[in-house]
């Protein structure tokens, strides 16, 4: 499981229904999806504050977005799906390219993609939800939650590390995705205990709380802590606390592969990526979804549906300041609970990228404008972050 180490680097990791690409079978790693593949309508129930509606016919911004995305697809610069919502109006819902090149299965707006490190938004909110139930405190030290189920004894270097530090990438725990055995092990099933054992006794990159460095390892530990206090597997907690209540019918976590029909990953057009077992991605990058579900997820923050208003405000409040070049080498001033904090044309712009072998994702929400922009691709070298920022700017300004 490797998340976005540096969004501009070429090979990083992480950080996922309806008839599209054929999924890998159990002979290539297997695993079950939680929840199973959903076939229900994506139409929201009556009176749903998260319901969407088409943009008015002839809307100039919607037309400009369609032209922009069609132009990218024609130049083979975009394969995937994109969604733009503003106050619930659908300004763009677009799909292009192949979900499975060999089988000539096209990407559809409801195709499932791996979210890679966008998964961190879900894991961080699950931690906040456990906190709201009194099961933990964000300032707690991590070891009491990990010993003895996940590690036999607390590594000496971890004794002062807190939940806040693993969520904010200030723990100093080295990123497992930088370890030499990470990519070779990606196709193979594993356990959370085995993954943690691979970095538990590595020297810290810095003294906890003194620096910022992206670490998927911290979010694997966060997922383990969620399982510990909720007394359920991560995928079950995700369903019970988030995807079920919010009606995200096509979002879940799989210990193997996403449901049948998920988009097959490519390093570039014509070059398939090696398969990824979801157990390796774990809580740092193993969530799968569609653009529709992610748009609904984003807007659930603005409607205070994912959590009470105070918790939503906290989720968007930086836990740590970013380095001078921005967190993940991306424009940002702070790292919140799975969100990079930035400004776009003077408006709050919260987003997170995800880059996993064969996949690239970018999810953004502008809370003061109720704008959600989701760009998911199954071609790793796609500039999803640039596309997201451009679409977000169009949604704000109404201009191309």
Q: What percent of the chain has pLDDT over 90?
A: 85
pLDDT digit string (tens) for 41-60?
Answer: 344 456 899 999 999 999 99
CB atoms within 10 A of CB 3: 31
pTM: 0.90
What pLDDT is attached to residue 261? Answer: 87
Kindly give the parts of the chain with pLDDT less than 50.
Answer: 1-44
Q: How far does Cα 144 stand from its chain's mean position?
A: 27
Q: How far does Cα 266 stand from its chain's mean position?
A: 18
Q: How many CA atoms does the CB half-sphere of 143 hold within 13 Å?
A: 11
Q: What percent of the chain has pLDDT over 70?
A: 88
What pLDDT is attached to residue 83? Answer: 98
What pLDDT is attached to residue 242? Answer: 98
Looking at residue 41, the DSSP 8-state letter turns out to be -
Architecture of domain 53-336+367-397: 3-Layer(aba) Sandwich (3.40)
Looking at residue 284, the DSSP 8-state letter turns out to be H
What pLDDT is attached to residue 260? Answer: 86
What pLDDT is attached to residue 22? Answer: 31
Q: Which residues have CB under 8 Å from 149's CB, separation 6+?
A: 193, 224, 228
Domain ranges of the chain: 53-336+367-397
What pLDDT is attached to residue 399? Answer: 75
Q: Are 273 and 265 in contact (CB under 8 A)?
A: yes
């Amino acid at each position: 499981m490797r998340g976005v180490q540096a969004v501009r680097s070429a090979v990083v990791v992480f950080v996922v229904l309806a008839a599209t690409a054929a999924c890998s079978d159990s002979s290539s790693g297997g695993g079950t999806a939680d929840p199973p593949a959903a076939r229900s309508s994506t139409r929201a129930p009556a009176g749903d504050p998260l319901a969407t509606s088409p943009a008015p016919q002839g809307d100039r911004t919607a037309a400009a977005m369609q032209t922009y995305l069609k132009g990218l697809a024609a130049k083979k610069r975009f394969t995937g799906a994109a969604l733009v919502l503003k106050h619930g109006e659908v300004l763009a819902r677009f799909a292009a390219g192949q979900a499975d090149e060999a089988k000539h299965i096209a990407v559809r707006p409801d195709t499932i993609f791996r979210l890679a490190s966008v998964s961190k938004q879900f894991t961080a909110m699950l931690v906040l939800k456990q906190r709201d139930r009194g099961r933990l405190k964000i300032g707690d030290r991590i070891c009491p939650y990990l010993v003895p189920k996940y590690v036999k004894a607390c590594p000496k270097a971890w004794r002062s590390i807190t939940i806040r530090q693993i969520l904010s990438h200030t723990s100093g725990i080295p990123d497992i995705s930088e370890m030499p055995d990470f990519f070779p092990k990606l196709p193979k099933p594993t356990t959370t205990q085995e993954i943690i054992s691979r970095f538990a006794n590595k020297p810290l990159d810095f003294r906890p709380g003194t620096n910022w460095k992206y670490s998927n390892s911290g979010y694997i530990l966060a997922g383990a802590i969620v399982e510990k206090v909720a007394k359920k597997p991560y995928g079950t907690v995700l369903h019970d606390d988030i995807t079920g209540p919010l009606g995200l019918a096509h979002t879940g976590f799989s210990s193997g592969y996403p449901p049948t029909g998920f988009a097959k990953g490519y390093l570039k057009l014509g070059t398939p990526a090696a398969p990824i077992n979801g157990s390796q991605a774990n809580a740092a990058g193993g969530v799968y979804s569609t653009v529709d579900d992610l748009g609904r997820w984003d807007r659930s923050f603005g409607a205070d549906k994912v959590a009470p208003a105070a918790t939503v405000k906290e989720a968007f409040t930086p836990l740590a300041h970013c380095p001078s070049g921005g967190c993940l080498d991306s424009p940002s001033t702070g790292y919140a609970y799975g969100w990079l904090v930035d400004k776009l044309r003077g408006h709050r712009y919260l987003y997170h990228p995800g880059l996993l072998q064969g996949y690239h994702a970018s999810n953004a929400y502008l809370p003061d404008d109720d704008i959600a922009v989701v760009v998911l691709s199954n071609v790793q070298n796609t500039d999803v972050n640039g596309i997201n920022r451009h679409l977000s700017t169009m949604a704000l300004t109404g201009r191309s």
